């Protein structure tokens, strides 16, 4: 199996996708906690959120960290705070190995990351984020989705 390598480049932005465990649609119902999780992460890490969209079961965003190799820790911080404070109403099935390690079934273990190479790439990622609520048929116009930086 090939080893996954993240690319860390000074001064670059990163397109990230974070997905809930089993695509559980808990994010919108817990939007204030998610916002608090971002605020908490900003107490420890300096980064800008250039664009973001929150859907019930995943987040897409473009961030620019001040310290280029901190974005995995930024994501970890957001996920940790949210997981620690999120109240799940139902028990969610998960792998025995995750249960043994006392993981709460809130997030997928990994997240998707893409280093944005140039302005064309940036605009492509931005457009994907902007259109995601339309793609998933939540709204017909991106301005109608209030859980994004475009609404």
The residues carrying an active-site annotation are 147
Q: Is 137 exposed, middle or buried (0-12, 13-18, 19+ CB in 10 A)?
A: exposed
Q: How far apart are CA 141 and CA 151, in angstroms?
A: 9
Q: How far apart are the C-alpha atoms of 111 and 18, rounded to whole Å?
A: 5
């Amino acid at each position: 199996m090939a080893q996954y390598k993240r690319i860390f480049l000074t001064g670059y932005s990163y397109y990230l996708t974070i997905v809930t465990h089993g695509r559980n649609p808990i994010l919108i119902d817990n939007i204030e906690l998610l916002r608090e999780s971002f605020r908490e992460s900003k107490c420890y890490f300096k980064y800008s959120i250039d664009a973001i969209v929150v859907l019930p079961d995943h987040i897409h965003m473009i961030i620019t960290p001040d310290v280029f190799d901190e974005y995995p820790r930024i994501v970890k911080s957001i996920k940790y705070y949210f997981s620690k404070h999120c109240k799940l109403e139902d028990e969610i099935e998960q792998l025995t190995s995750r249960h043994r390690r006392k993981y709460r079934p809130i997030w997928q273990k990994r997240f998707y990351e893409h280093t944005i190479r140039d302005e064309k790439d940036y605009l492509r990622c931005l457009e994907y984020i902007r259109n995601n609520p339309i793609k998933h048929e939540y709204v017909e116009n991106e301005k109608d989705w209030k859980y994004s930086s475009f609404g």
